[in-house]
Amino acid sequence: MARPTCHFPTFKPATAASAYLPLSNLHVPRLAPHLSLRGLACACIAFFVTLLPADAPAASEPAVPAPAAGAVSSTPHPLVWDAMEQVLTLAPGQTTADFQFTVVNASDAVVTIREVRPTCHCTVPSLPALPWRLEPGASGSFSGELNVRGMDGKVTKAIYVDSTAGTQVLRVTATIPVVEEAARRRHREIARADRQAVFRGDCVSCHVTPATGLSGGQLFLAACGVCHFATRRDPAVPDLLTARQHRDDAYWRRWITEGRPGTMMPGWSKAQGGPLTDEQIESLIQFALRTLPTAPRVEDKG
């Protein structure tokens, strides 16, 4: 079955401070309940990427609609990039990697880049002001960051560049060291014994530090992505992109604040020993209500 797609926010000029979604300069449309936004996960149900068994099914990635048929031309494009694909190799334990694309307008006419659309929340470009106007013979570049928390093996992410000369597709490919199954099993056992363990010791670098000072969509991705966007998401981790029941303010508040005893779901509030302030939790609740399905699809009921 073909994976459903969703409309993803258009990236406006980004800065180092705006590394995740949604930012104040991004428009995040309300999603219909039947759409799957794989990669914007939700209620900060955090436990390790290393909690995941090697044979668990791979988590899907969010998708940006591909350009319409005929939008990507087979004729030479006036925008010539230094490479259509950047290849990155990450060291063990490395969770982010930087990339850069450089472009030259090889035509005798002005070309304007109107938008840049990554296919995944984890790919965050930092752009010149849009629309980005390139005079004949002019060159420029944009950089970006690939966040690979929860991923391993070889992954490729696309970036659609829409300009007055047509759409082009750039790609970032990363090779990420695979976490050994023994480490996954050990961390899984720790979390099952104490669901708040993710906020202490060696776990802080993955589950606390990335979320420090963030709110809303940025916090959602930094704190939750390590588990809910993992390549090998544990079967015990709920698929929060599918509503199995009605999910209102009270639902998200209870899960995020208190977690659930007897599972690996920690409580994120300071009262529960978690790292988040009341303001941060409120921002997560509002993000979940605004972005994620609130009611089950007909085919998911029962």
Q: What is the mean pLDDT of the chain?
A: 76
- Judgement on whether residues 166 and 237 belong to the same structural domain of the protein: no
Structural domain for 271, as ranges: 49-60+179-300
- Judgement on whether residues 295 and 190 belong to the same structural domain of the protein: yes
5 domain residue, yes or no: no
End position of a domain, from candidates 148, 176, 204: 176
- Judgement on whether residues 164 and 183 belong to the same structural domain of the protein: no
Query: How many Cβ atoms sit within 10 Å of the Cβ of residue 230?
Result: 25
**CB contact at 8 A, 39 and 61:** yes
Query: What's the domain count of the chain?
Result: 2
At 181, the pLDDT band (50, 70, 90 cuts) reads low
Residue 285's identity, in one-letter code, is I
- Output the pLDDT for position 300: 58
Give whole-number Cα distances, 91 to 86, 147, 148, 152, 206, in Å.
16, 13, 12, 11, 16
- Judgement on whether residues 209 and 137 belong to the same structural domain of the protein: no
- Summarize the confidence of residues 117-128 as an average pLDDT: 89
94 domain residue, yes or no: yes
Rounded to 5°, the CA angle 179-56-238 comes to 110
195 domain residue, yes or no: yes
Q: What is the domain-level CATH number for residue 86? A: 2.60.40.10
End position of a domain, from candidates 151, 176, 201: 176
For residue 6 the two structure tokens come to 């969703």
Q: What is the domain-level CATH number for residue 212? A: 1.10.760
- Judgement on whether residues 53 and 196 belong to the same structural domain of the protein: yes
Asked if pLDDT for residue 18 goes beyond 60, the answer is no
14 domain residue, yes or no: no
Nearest by Cα to 239 from 155, 297, 157, 166:
297
- Judgement on whether residues 140 and 228 belong to the same structural domain of the protein: no
6 domain residue, yes or no: no
- Judgement on whether residues 55 and 183 belong to the same structural domain of the protein: yes
- The 10s digit of each residue's pLDDT in 45-99 is 333 333 333 333 333 444 444 454 444 556 789 999 999 999 999 988 788 899 9
- Judgement on whether residues 167 and 214 belong to the same structural domain of the protein: no
- Output the pLDDT for position 264: 83
**CB contact at 8 A, 209 and 7:** no
- Judgement on whether residues 199 and 245 belong to the same structural domain of the protein: yes
66 domain residue, yes or no: no
At 247, the pLDDT band (50, 70, 90 cuts) reads very high
- Judgement on whether residues 142 and 204 belong to the same structural domain of the protein: no
- Summarize the confidence of residues 268-292 as an average pLDDT: 92
- Judgement on whether residues 120 and 187 belong to the same structural domain of the protein: no
- Output the pLDDT for position 231: 64
The 3 state secondary structure assigned to 94-133 is CCEEEEEEEEEECCCCCEEEEEEEECCCCEEEECCCCCEE
Mutual angle of helices 249-258 and 278-291, in 10-degree steps:
140
At 184, the pLDDT band (50, 70, 90 cuts) reads low
CA distance 230 to 224: 10
For residue 254 the two structure tokens come to 């209870």
- Is the pTM above the cut of 0.75? no
- Judgement on whether residues 198 and 123 belong to the same structural domain of the protein: no
End position of a domain, from candidates 176, 205, 233: 176
10 domain residue, yes or no: no
What CA dihedral angle connects 22, 27, 33 and 34, to 10 degrees? -100
33 domain residue, yes or no: no
- Which of the two residues, 132 and 243, has the higher pLDDT score? 132
